[in-house]
Amino acid sequence: MDSYADVSYWMETAGDLSPRPPLDGTTACDVGILGAGYTGLWTAYYLLKRQPELRVVIAEGEIAGFGASGRNGAWCAPDLNVSLERLARLHGKDAARRMQQATYDAVDEVERVTAAERIDAGFHKGGELIVARGPHHVPAIEGALREYERFGFGEHYRLLDAAGVAHKVRIAGAVAGLWSGTAAIVHPGRLVRGLAALVERMGARLVERTPVSDFRASVGGAPAALITARGEIRAPVIVLAGEAYLTRLAKLHRQLVPMYSLIVLTEPIDDARWAEIGWAGREVIASARLSIDYLSRTSDGRILFGGRGAPYRLGSPIKDAYDRHDPTHEMLRGFVRSWFPMLGDVRFTHAWGGPLGMPRDWHPTAAFDPRSGIATARGYVGHGVSTANLAGRTLADLITGERSALTELPLANHRSPDWEIEPFRWLGIRYTQGAMSRLDRRSEATGRPPTGRSLAERIASH
């Protein structure tokens, strides 16, 4: 990667990316944070809102926004990777309901703070549309609606027929859709860079190009520490907010796997073709495919199309080279042409990707252990834009010892099991990735939905 602008279109258009100075020797503070993505920055924000005198130091290995926060699909949506049914099985129905309500509130909180703090994050609450591209997808969206209804959230969602979808956006093969007004689109790069500047104005010290190689718990009154080649950040509380990249730390290696998600972006599309497509509401869009796709319409009239498909690699490595995977990027370009045939020979100007953090049970965590002084929030899979805000607020309450509605949520102090050791991790994930693609292709060919009973679907059911 020659320049941080190459990270993504979002970073390219986020303003000045000059790195801040690195750490210049061992330092003591009240809270040391690893990672300047949404999690680390929201945590710093809410801590400093509550206690402006706190000395907060954030160590970022590259620059703020280098991780998933500066690369994502721009969905700020009240979605989780754990289903409501599963949350209810694990934590009870009331807790599942509170967790879902907290995700709606998180979207509104991102809107409130970005407006109040004048962060130019392009927040636009255009809603979310999950489309059935063929009859094989219809049971999935009908099932999702029934689940929301069982938990008392049905009023947020509306089932659309083919005409209802076309009224919003003309997508080839769309036969139905599930619409909700609860989601927003943001400019991810400006959000994360704006947050970094904001917490600095509030008094936090952000050191960049300062990779943390290890961390130490607080023992017998000695502070906890983030350890870097340029010195240590010693504090009674340290926050590990590195999401997928935490797998690089030996002590956390098996807590997450880095799962690559990839994105292509078109050139700005002209008004005549937008008139054909519609999509005036700028809803965030996905289909009910098992192997995951996601779309958004940028404020300058481009289509972003993202999806999984890049293969998981043995040993969970993370490398700049993996941000690009030609077969997957080419598949995504093909999807754009197939969803929007009216775009014909549209040009693609950008292709990028990055690792998202996937815990073994797909369950997000915001945890603090007062004895060790170690806090962490992670495991959002593909839904971190709003969830990191919720996690940051939850960590601020846990760290300052405030019992609140947030500290009673299922994500508070959740501990995910470790992933299997290799090569079993690789075998299981690669099998599931391949099986999901095959199931999608079979459904597309036959028009029949997946049964939900295949081994891969049961492994990945969450």
The residues that touch ligand FAD, with contacts defined as CB under 6 A, are 34-40, 59-62, 66-69, 71-75, 211-212, 241-245, 248, 261, 263, 294, 306, 353-356, 380, 382-385, 388
C-beta of residue 315 within 8 angstroms of C-beta of residue 425: no
Tell me whether residue 38 or residue 339 sits nearer to ligand FAD (CB atom).
38
Give the Å distances, CA to CA, from 313 to 62, 66, 460. Answer: 23, 21, 18
The candidate with the shortest Cα–Cα distance to 461, out of 93, 147, 156, is: 147
Alpha helices in 21-154 (DSSP H): 38-50, 84-91, 93-116, 138-150
What does the DSSP 8-state code read for residue 328?
H
Shortest Å, Cβ 442 to ligand FAD: 26
Q: How far apart are CA 114 and CA 271, in angstroms?
A: 29
Shortest Å, Cβ 215 to ligand FAD: 9
Q: How far apart are CA 218 and CA 234, in angstroms?
A: 9
Shortest Å, Cβ 302 to ligand FAD: 15
C-beta of residue 176 within 8 angstroms of C-beta of residue 131: yes
Shortest Å, Cβ 89 to ligand FAD: 24
Tell me whether residue 81 or residue 218 sits nearer to ligand FAD (CB atom).
81
The candidate with the shortest Cα–Cα distance to 109, out of 346, 300, 453, 390, is: 390
Shortest Å, Cβ 402 to ligand FAD: 22
Residue nearest to ligand FAD according to CB distances in the complex? 384
Tell me whether residue 160 or residue 241 sits nearer to ligand FAD (CB atom).
241
C-beta of residue 2 within 8 angstroms of C-beta of residue 187: no
Exposure on the CB side of residue 426, measured as CA atoms within 13 A: 8
Packing angle, helices 93-116 and 384-400, rounded to 10: 100
Vertex 356: Cα angle to 89 and 268 (nearest 5): 120
Tell me whether residue 102 or residue 356 sits nearer to ligand FAD (CB atom).
356
Shortest Å, Cβ 459 to ligand FAD: 21
Q: How far apart are CA 398 and CA 418, in angstroms?
A: 23
The pairing of beta strand 348-358 with beta strand 257-266: antiparallel
Tell me whether residue 166 or residue 249 sits nearer to ligand FAD (CB atom).
249
Kindly state the tokens that stand for 423.
């090569």
Tell me whether residue 67 or residue 177 sits nearer to ligand FAD (CB atom).
67
Tell me whether residue 211 or residue 236 sits nearer to ligand FAD (CB atom).
211
Shortest Å, Cβ 59 to ligand FAD: 5
Tell me whether residue 34 or residue 136 sits nearer to ligand FAD (CB atom).
34
Shortest Å, Cβ 292 to ligand FAD: 10
Residue 392, number of CB atoms within 10 A of its CB:
26
Which residues lie closer than 8 Å to 365 by C-beta, 6 or more apart? 359, 376, 377, 378, 379, 391, 411, 413, 414, 415, 416
Tell me whether residue 59 or residue 429 sits nearer to ligand FAD (CB atom).
59
Shortest Å, Cβ 460 to ligand FAD: 18
